[in-house]
Structure 1
Amino acid sequence: MTTSAEAINPGDVRTRTEIRAAFGGSPQGGICPSEDKHSVNLYSDPDVGEQVGYYDGWLAEEDELGPVFEYTGAGKSGDQTFDGTFGSGNRAILRHAEQDRVLRVFTRVGKLPGSDTKTHRFLGTFVLDGLQPYVWRRVHGEDGQERSVIVFRLRPEGPVQHAAQDVIPAAEETTAEFVPFQVVTGAMFQSDPATSGALPLPKQRVGKGSTSRQPAPNAETSGTFVMPEAFSTKLSLRAATAATIAVRREAELTQAYKAHLDSGGHQTGAFQIKVKGLTSTLRTDLYDATDHVLYEAKGSNSREDVRMALGQILDYSRYVKTAGHEGEPKRVILLPAAPAPDMYTLLDRYDVGVVYRGDDGRFVGDAVPTIDQ
């Protein structure tokens, strides 16, 4: 029987009893923290996940920081949460860094011959993505009901196994399902925000595995209207870079403008977009369903951020279609301050508007609806 952490390497297959001897944790459950072993063991079962509407695995598309492994939080029915007993496992993942615990991921592969004892393959050690530790996603559970799940974004920390069978399947067909407005509360427990604490930035970039699956060509998409996650708390990150500050400002700006729209009776949400041939899921910042306006927010008014927002909103707006409105939505960039004058010329060329927050805190721009106080 394995008794040391060094004896279990990425790619090795072990029983849960052997894993517990090395890394601790409980004998059952998907998220198993261990205080004495400084570990949070994450067990993924592809068969179970597919039945309740989600996939765990590697994204085929990497970003500038490298690969991302998506792991869906605990809760097989109803909306997932960070609160109370049902949210304890999700909190353990979110606070793994400040609690000095390592995330270790295992995926079920089968059973011991002639036994009902399950076996699990070790993929390696991970940390939460420092800029976007998790996202909220709308899925259909095994009962067919829509629900919100927490999808954690994990970055490799050290050697990992990146096998083709662990890559999330690419979208195969177009679905266009409009989801009614649903409130998703911020993740809170006790008196502290679940998003506080040290969320580490990835320490290194891990190269692609030689067996990585290539996504199919993009062709079609699906769009789902969902409520943006209420993100009222600031992330306390290990590295206070300009990028992390912009993330916080963007979240605060988006929520403030959403509150302005809501106060006028507007129905607000976001679009969750899956593109055929891709494994990743796109999500817009804010959508005003009342006036059919799509917003892309940025945490600064710099030239670089305005250009990035322009590309994103031109991309996303192609897929935002609803039964109640004809054509594509009006496209607007949401900024914390007015951009440089020449950027208006650029945005006008692509019929993209600007809304920004003035010195007095009020929002300025042609798209801003008048709210009667």
Structure 2
Amino acid sequence: MTSRLDEIAIAPGDVLTREQIIKVFGGSTQGGICPATEKRSVNLFSDPSVGEKLGYYDGWLAEDDDLGPVFEYTGAGKSGPQTFEGAAGIGNRAILRHAEQGRTLRVFTQVGKVPHSDTKTHEFLGEFVLDQLQPYVWRRVHGEDLIDRDVIVFRLRPEPEGTVRRSAKNLVPVAEKTTAELVNFTLVTAAMLQTDPATSGALSMPKQRRKNPSTQRKLIHAATSGTFVVPEAFNTRMSLRSASASFIAVRREAELTQEYKEHLESLGHRVGAFQIRVKGLSSTLRTDLYDATDHTLYEVKGASAREDVRMALGQLLDYSRYVSTKANPSTPKRTILLPTQPDADMYDLCRIYEVDIMYRANDGTFSLDTAPAVTPKASLAP
């Protein structure tokens, strides 16, 4: 075991006791999430033997994405749904706001014990930051007491200028079989995401599609107190600077999703989402809205541009393969939900794959529309 009691630096791969870690990075002798104000650190301890009993695994995803590797770390709370609020959410808030508070995330995994003692040892994996595109997701797990609960799974990226320890023993196990589970539609309030929300009130929705291509992608709004945000709100159009993890932008997509969810519930529909694990993969997929009453799967986008429709179409075709229930074992109806009406040829594209388009009309109602009539082009023949 490496001993660095008198050294300032601890390198990835070093194995230490908590006492040794506290001397350098601060923190406490107990708990999985240990904020250390004086050392500007949030120390994250993972114990695979504990996590497995509680229905989750911390570790590296076997599949890298376009931005590289991801380390999944499950939030604090051993029973019941996890939270960002109150005393129970102190540790989870510390991770979410680490950059705002000028703290570094450091991950340690339990690997053994000091010989002839009960003192645990921990391997230092390196320094991390929250994923800029999707800092966390909600996930349904089967707890040790066999009661299902919702937990927070943080998505961590290696510090850009640092090095990390990545080995096969720290990989999240791949799924042994493909499963799709209907879970609660979990919401998060934007007020949780930063100490001082930049604005208050709800996001405004566009009344017509932007015509300037350069502005179609500008969907970012200041973080908004009181606006509900779903996990999908934290992906490719979320603005999260590594210098301020709490400065999370709430997209129009989140507002649209929440508004349509409320619309469905006002009609008496039961709304949820599907959590999907694919055989041979370690990552977990999660759909947008699922209407259990009508057996309809929705993919929601915050813009109606061609690239958004194409992305939604691909996601629906992928996810719908796995979506079924005992009450509805057949393939679900598939619908893309957009903030405004898309171009006419997008209807033609979606019709080929039997996918409907729903959009929010200028009067605030939702319209499931057929493709507008297109005037035939004049012949170019002489």
Question: Residues 81 and 187 of structure 1 are in contact (CA less than 8 Å); yes or no, is this contact kept in structure 2?
Answer: no
Contact 1:103/1:125 (CA < 8 Å) preserved in 2? yes
How big is the shift at 1:3? 4.9
Question: Match of 1:252?
Answer: 255
Distance 1:259 1:4, change over 3 A: farther
Report the counterpart of residue 57 of structure 1 in structure 2. Answer: 59
Q: Which amino acid aligns with 2:153?
A: V
Partners of 1:286 and 1:245 lie apart in 2 by: 22
Q: 2:299 aligns with which of 277, 296, 304?
A: 296
Bigger CA radius of gyration: 2
Q: State the Cα deviation string for residues 94-143 of structure 1 (Å, max 9, x = none).
A: 11011010000000000011111100000000111122111100000011
Which of these residues, 309, 315, 321, is aligned with residue 312 of structure 2?
309
With over 3 angstroms needed to count, the CA separation of the structure-2 counterparts of 1:357 and 1:246, relative to structure 1, is farther
Name 1:223's counterpart in structure 2: none
2:363 paired with 1:365 = no
Within a 5 Å distance, the mapping from 1:1-373 to structure 2 comes to: 2-3=4-5, 6-157=8-159, 158-175=162-179, 177-179=181-183, 182=184, 184=186, 186=188, 193-196=191-194, 231=229, 237-238=240-241, 248-366=251-369
Cα separation, partners in 2 of 1:245 and 1:24, compared to 1, 3 Å:
closer
What is the TM-score with the length of structure 2 in the denominator? 0.81
CA RMSD of aligned residues (A): 2.5
Q: Which amino acid aligns with 2:322?
A: Y
Deviation digits for residues 227-253 of structure 1 (CA, Å, limit 9, x no counterpart): xx95279977338xxxx9997122221
Task: Give, in angstroms, the shift of residue 306 of structure 1.
Answer: 0.9
- Structure 1 residue runs of 5 or longer lacking an equivalent are 199-228, 368-373
Superposed displacement of residue 7, structure 1? 2.2
Contact 2:336-2:357 at 8 Å conserved across structures: yes
- After superposition, the C-alpha distances for 1:175-234 in whole angstroms (9 at most, x for unaligned) are 45545xx4745357xxxx122369xxxxxxxxxxxxxxxxxxxxxxxxxxxxxx952799
Indicate conservation of the 8 Å contact 1:54/1:139, yes or no. yes
Task: Please state how far the C-alpha of 1:43 moved relative to its aligned partner.
Answer: 0.1
Q: Is the 8 A contact 1:131 1:247 kept in 2?
A: no
Q: Distance in 1 between the 2:263 and 2:117 partners? A: 59
The answer to whether the 8 Å contact 1:58/1:167 transfers is yes
SS of 1:130's partner is coil
Question: CA shift at 1:340, angstroms?
Answer: 1.2
Specify the SS of the correspondent of 2:351.
Answer: helix
Task: Give 2:62's aligned amino acid.
Answer: A
1:245 and 1:169 map into 2 onto residues whose CA distance is 30
Contact 2:180 2:323 in 1 (8 A): no
Match of residue 220 from structure 1:
none
In structure 2, C-alpha distance between the alignment counterparts of 1:139 and 1:15, rounded to whole Å: 30
Q: Which runs of 5+ in 2 are unaligned?
A: 197-226, 371-382
CA contact (8 A) 2:300 2:337 kept: yes
Higher mean alpha-carbon deviation, 245-254 vs 256-265, is at 245-254
Please tell me the residue identity of whatever aligns with 1:83: E
Which amino acid is the alignment partner of residue 78 of structure 2?
K
User: What is the percent sequence identity of the aligned residues?
Assistant: 65
Whole-Å separation in 1 of the counterparts to 2:42 and 2:7: 13
Cα displacement (A) at 1:40: 0.2
Q: What letter corresponds to residue 42 of structure 1 in structure 2?
A: L
User: What is the rounded CA distance, in whole Å, between the counterparts of 2:25 and 2:5 in structure 1?
Assistant: 9
